[in-house]
Structure formats: C-alpha cells, structure tokens
Structure 1
Amino acid sequence: MSSDVAKSACERIDLAFSNPEANARAFKDAGGKVVAFLGATVPVEIIAAGGAYPLRLKGGSGDTALADELMEPVRELYLRRIFNRLLAGALDWVDLIVVPRSSEGLLQFYYLIDYARKFRGHTHMPKVVLLDLLQTPFDYTIAYNKARLTELKAEVEAVTGRTISDEALAGQIKLYNSVRGRFRNVIEQQGPAGTLRLKLASFGQTQPAAEFESVLTDLWLGSSQISKGARVALSGSPHETADLYEIFASSGLDIVAEDHDWGAGIYAHDVAENADPIAALEERYRLHGISMRQFVRAKPEYDVSGKDVRPEAVAFYFEENDDTLGWEYPEERKRLADAGIATALLRGPVNSDRCLAALKDLADQFAARTEGGNHE
C-alpha cells in the first residue's frame, strides 16, 4: 500500500470528523435530497435505496442557549446541541429528519420539535418523523416493526420522488454489508485504537457508503501509528466528539473496544441478504441496533468481531444526569472483577474535576508498567 494513499485516507477521515456535513451539503447543492437521522437504529439502507444522502446528525461543540428554554437540562448534551441547531435554523437545508424512539431523551426531542413548530413559531425546521422500532427479541414485535419500516420507506419515497424497489433495497443491503465487513477487517488486522478508532467509526455514519469503502480500502496504519498504552474498553454514554478519547490518550490509555452508539460496534452485524429486504432489516436493527432499548447488551470487552480483546480495564463513563446506564455498573464491576479486569467509573461532563480525577486514578494503576516498558 502506497504511503501517500494511506496518508490521504487518514486525511479524509480527519476532514470528515471535523466537518461531517460538508459532503451532504454538496450533495444537496447539486440537487439531491438529504435525509438525516439520529442514533444507531435507523436503517440507512432504506434512505440510500431512495437515492437520498443518509446523514447522522451531530451536536458538535456549540452552545445550548436556545434549546435550554424548552429542553430539560438533564437530557443528553448531544441532543440539546442538535435541538439548539434546529431552533437556530442551522439544519434548515435538510429534507427530512428521522428520530428513533431508542431513549426517553430522543422521544422528548421529537415531541419538543413538534411543540416548537406549533407553539413557538419555529416553522422553518425540516419535517421530522418518529421511528418506533422495538428492540425486544420476541416474535410479536416483528409485524409491528415491519409496519414501521414500511412507513419509513414511504416517507423517504415522498422526499425523493422515487419508488424504493426490493431490488434497490437488496443492493444497498449488499453494499452496506460489504462496508461493515471491510471495517471489521481493518479493526481486526490493523487494530486502530483511541481517537482514530472513533473517527473511523464516525466516518461511516456521515459519509456515503462508497466513500467509506474507499477509505477502508486505502487505509493502512504503520506500526508507529498504533499506540502502546494500557488497553482499556469504554462503556456507557455515547461519544460523538473525541474529547474523552483524547484525554485517555494523553493519560497513556488506549481505547481498544467500546459499546457506545458512535463506536465500532455499529458495524458488528450484517443484514441477511437472502431474505425479504424489509424483514431482514427489521431483524438486524431490532436485535443489533445499539441503543438504550437494546434487550441484550454486548459485553464491553468484546470487539466488533465478537472477540474478547482482553483489556486491562473497562471504564464506564456516564453523563452527569445519565442514571439509566449507571444501573448496570455494580453488577458489571463484580463480573469484571471476577475476570481479573479493573474498572473505573467516570461521571461527566468529560472535563469535570471528578471525571478527570477518576481517569487519573485509573491511569496511575498502569503508569509504572507503561513507563517501565513492560506493557505489551
């Protein structure tokens, strides 16, 4: 692999992470339609099959002054930031936004948009639809979910003016499966850790599948680019920015696995290619879409290929007001302790004194080995 080609791939990854909406805006300016979505449980294959650009929204690093007038401060920071952007008119160029009902915060987000439009005069905002995809592993949820995905298909068709055939859906399923498989190969063979790992996972959520496949094909990391710090898995609240990842790296800790919904786990499972497309999508996103409503959560020490990466510790990070995920911590701490894996509880915000102090305590456990060169 040419070093120039690999370098170009890394530059494209960095650019997409710093400006995730640039390609979507260019697509829109050229006459295309953009369907944005939140979370990791919306079937992007349906959006792409309709000829629209699938764009997962990020809150970015902006303030929440407008959102705070309507949205409770206990809600996730990324939701408050996206809501703020909507109120400010920063997303008026999007044709449709799909909100999954995969957390209470997302459901409130959906209803607040409707409230802001009807009663606060924010009529400029794009149309928003709710995708109520259940994630229980029971037969009686399947028919309900298939009806919801059929409704989503109709919404995309209305935006693009294009009928989505089974052949088109099957083609996108095959393409996205190919990308997921290539991503898993990169993770398993090259082992990117930390910030690069997060940026690579994020790339496929904001860029076209073909562009992601190109980057994954061109990417090759030399040994000098693979960190050698203590190996840590990250669990808990989602991370759309690299803030915590960068703090980990500066502390000599490498994030080598994570179970949050912006991490590598997004690409862990394919969609069945030899089945009815809607039925296949329903099964995949019901059982394997990463969310707080997921019936069975994966163990954080397992990577995207289903292998135990044998981390030296698992760090559980929860946003300041995130109590839902925190309920699992005592049981997880005991399970991991029995397996000889250290744990740490980090409470947000990311740069708060208590979060940084807990992270420092974790880093100190490995400092002697790292400085002594004994870590493998």
Structure 2
Amino acid sequence: MGYVGADVPVELITAAGLRPLRLTGKPGEDSSLGDRYLGRGVDPVARSVLTRILTGAYGPLEAIVVSRDCEASLRLFYALRELHRIEPSLGLPPLRLVDVLHLPHHTTTPYVHAKIAQLREWLGRWRPIADDDLAAAITVHDTLRRSLARAAVLRRENRLSGTRFLELVAATTAVPVGEAITLVERVLAEDLPAAEGVRLFLTGSSHDSPEVYETLERNGFFVAGEDHDWGELLFARTCAAPTELALAERYQYNGPSAPRASIGQRAAHTAAAARACAAEVLFSYARVHDDAPPWDFPGQRAATGLPAVLAERQPYGELTAEALAALVPVRAAA
C-alpha cells in the first residue's frame, strides 16, 4: 500500500496485513504527466510522485493513502481523486486522505483520534484490525524507531555519513517493518569508517533522495543532523502505549515540520537539534515552490547562533552553483 507523507500512521497499514511503501519522487526524471495534471507551480516532488504513480513505477499498489502534511500533498490527493473518477481506464487504486492536526491542545486529540479510527475502519476492507493486531504493529514500528535512533547516535559520533544515514532511513520505508529492523541492525553492527567535514545542520525542505546530501558532503561538509521528515523527525517520537489513542497522540505531537508548525516552534526545535549534533553551520535548503522554509530561517538563525545560509528556489535534488558559493565562506569560518 503506497503512502505519501510522514503523517500517515503506517502502524495501521501493517496491522491490516499490508506492506507500507512510502512513495518517493525521482529528481531528474521526466515529470510531464504530473505537470499536466498538477501544473508546474506545485512542489516538484508531488509532480514526480504523481507521474510515477501514473506510469506504474512503484509496481502494483493495493491502495494509496495521502496525508495532509503540506499543500502539495493535498493537491496530489485531489488530482488522484479526480483522475480516479473521470479516467477509470487508468486503473488507479482506492484512495484515502488522512488529516492529522498538530496543534498542541488536548482538544485536538479527539479530532486526530477520530481520523485514525476512520482510517482503521477503511483498512478493514483488507483485514479487520483487532486491538491485538494494532498493539503488535505499534510495538514493532516503535522497535524500528528506536533502532534508527541508535543509527542517529552513530552519525553524531562521526561513524555514519549524512548521506548513508538518509539512505538508510529511506530504505526502511520501502520494506516490511521486520526487514527494516534487520537492515538497521546490520548497519549498526558494521565497522564503519569515520566521516569527516564541517558539521552542518540541514533545515528547510524535505529530502526523499540523497543528491543534495551527496553534494554537500563532496564539498567539505558533514550533514550531522536535519529537521525534515525523511530524517530524524520520522522516528524521533514513539508511542506511549500500544493503543489507538496513543497512536493518535504520537502523530498529533510529531514534528515540528516546516509546513505545519509555527516559526517559534521550528526555531526552538532546530536550535536544540543543532546543539545535539554539535553543528558548526546552519543551512536552509528551500526547494522551488516550497514557500515555508524562508519564513522560518531568520528565527532559526537567531536561535542557533550559527553561521547560516539560506538557499531559496533550489531545483529538486540539486544545489545551484550560487548556493554552493554562498557556503564557501561559512565553511572557511567554521
């Protein structure tokens, strides 16, 4: 079952006897189909994902669940829903939208809980989810999150590069959760070479592929931490208990992501995370048509107190020559 966005409660998909597959875009690949239906003013990740769904790049999908984690994801859902309605010949699978609010209020929890309960009921068409099934799925996904947290410690100790870390996290979203745990444990057991470079904390847009990390690490930086939901935000919070209510609270309070959190929340989180990984430089990468990161940047720069660079309107999966040039003086200063 394909899903889009870190707000999708993958535990429910696992509990229904299905394999969650997080759908990724592919930088540099033709996205003309996605451009046709979404327009070129939408985040290129969403356009790439739509193209790959329509061309069958992910293989057969039993269904697709999309979270309302950002405007681009919502636009993607609406496009898929309309194509499902007017183009039955495309053979698109059933679709579902999940709306998780991240307001820090007890009154928000019943809303999120209701949305998760509705998704649980919808997934029951594949296999009814008993409480024991859900508890087992929550437990195993939390085990994976704890394993990934240990991998994050390795990176902070310079024993795992930022690129390798990002690739590892992405790999765990593409295989059954038991295999994902084995994959992480195998990496944890490796004799890893030391990573080198100026310690950089990456904020801004999310990264579902490693190209930007690779470019930074080829140019003298070590991506020691990040605050997007393909990195440490994906697994930082576990469930307080193996119950549906605790699952709702886990997703409600997960974050803070750039599209769904306040400027103050983002600044405080970025500052704490940058300190935890001993970052020397703050770099905000804002992809073209991703408008949230530049609003966060002044507060993040002030809160961290680090030499900082904002690179706006960056191509999907790339760093422009101008962005790299702006990083040269901060690298030298660090």
TM-score, scaled relative to structure 1: 0.80
Question: What does residue 25 of structure 1 align with?
Answer: none
Question: What does residue 363 of structure 1 align with?
Answer: 328
Call closer, same or farther: CA 1:122–1:230 in 2, change over 3 Å: farther
Q: Provide the identity percentage.
A: 28
Match among 257, 279, 283 for residue 249 of structure 2: 283
Alignment partners' CA distance in 2, 1:85 and 1:201: 21
Alignment partners' CA distance in 2, 1:221 and 1:78: 33
Alignment partners' CA distance in 1, 2:317 and 2:195: 23
Worse-matched range after superposition: 186-195 or 109-118: 186-195
SS in 2 for 1:66: helix
Residue 49 (structure 1) shift: 0.8
Query: One-letter code of the match for 1:266?
Result: L
Question: What does residue 196 of structure 1 align with?
Answer: 164
Query: One-letter code of the match for 2:186?
Result: D
Query: One-letter code of the match for 1:256?
Result: A
Matched, 1:237 2:237: no
Question: What does residue 143 of structure 1 align with?
Answer: 110
SS in 1 for 2:253: helix
Residue 86 (structure 1) shift: 2.3
Cα deviation 1:11-65 (Å, max 9, x = unaligned): xxxxxxxxxxxxxxxxxxxxxxxx1111111111111011100110011242111
Question: What does residue 173 of structure 1 align with?
Answer: 138
Match among 300, 305, 318 for residue 270 of structure 2: 300
Query: One-letter code of the match for 2:7?
Result: T
Call closer, same or farther: CA 1:217–1:51 in 2, change over 3 Å: same
Alignment partners' CA distance in 2, 1:114 and 1:106: 12
Give the greater-gyration-radius structure (CA). Answer: 1
TM-score, scaled relative to structure 2: 0.89
Question: What does residue 216 of structure 2 align with?
Answer: 248
Alignment: residue pair count: 324
Matched, 1:81 2:51: no
Question: What does residue 16 of structure 1 align with?
Answer: none
Alignment partners' CA distance in 2, 1:199 and 1:309: 19
Call closer, same or farther: CA 1:69–1:104 in 2, change over 3 Å: same
Question: What does residue 6 of structure 1 align with?
Answer: none
Residue 190 (structure 1) shift: 5.3
SS in 2 for 1:70: helix
Alignment partners' CA distance in 2, 1:163 and 1:289: 30
Measured on the aligned residues, the alpha-carbon RMSD in Å equals 2.2
Residue 171 (structure 1) shift: 1.1
Alignment partners' CA distance in 2, 1:178 and 1:205: 14
Match among 312, 330, 349 for residue 315 of structure 2: 349
Match among 307, 325, 329 for residue 297 of structure 2: 329
Call closer, same or farther: CA 1:330–1:48 in 2, change over 3 Å: same
Alignment partners' CA distance in 2, 1:259 and 1:47: 25
Query: One-letter code of the match for 1:315?
Result: F
Worse-matched range after superposition: 115-124 or 60-69: 115-124
Residue 351 (structure 1) shift: 7.0
Pairing 1:27-106 to 2, within 5 Å after superposition:
35-61=1-27, 62-91=29-58, 93-106=60-73
Residue 352 (structure 1) shift: 6.5
Matched, 1:116 2:86: no
- Is the 2:10–2:20 Cα contact (8 Å) retained in structure 1? yes
- Is the 2:233–2:255 Cα contact (8 Å) retained in structure 1? no
Worse-matched range after superposition: 250-259 or 80-89: 80-89
Query: One-letter code of the match for 2:129?
Result: I
Call closer, same or farther: CA 1:91–1:190 in 2, change over 3 Å: closer
Cα deviation 1:136-162 (Å, max 9, x = unaligned): 11122222211111111122221x2x2
Cα deviation 1:239-277 (Å, max 9, x = unaligned): 111110111011010101001111122111111126xx1
Alignment partners' CA distance in 1, 2:316 and 2:46: 16
Query: One-letter code of the match for 1:188?
Result: V
Matched, 1:263 2:206: no
- Is the 1:261–1:290 Cα contact (8 Å) retained in structure 2? no
Question: What does residue 27 of structure 1 align with?
Answer: none
Cα deviation 1:70-126 (Å, max 9, x = unaligned): 212121111101111223344561011101111111111111112223335554111
Worse-matched range after superposition: 280-289 or 326-335: 326-335
Question: What does residue 155 of structure 1 align with?
Answer: 122
Residue 299 (structure 1) shift: 2.4
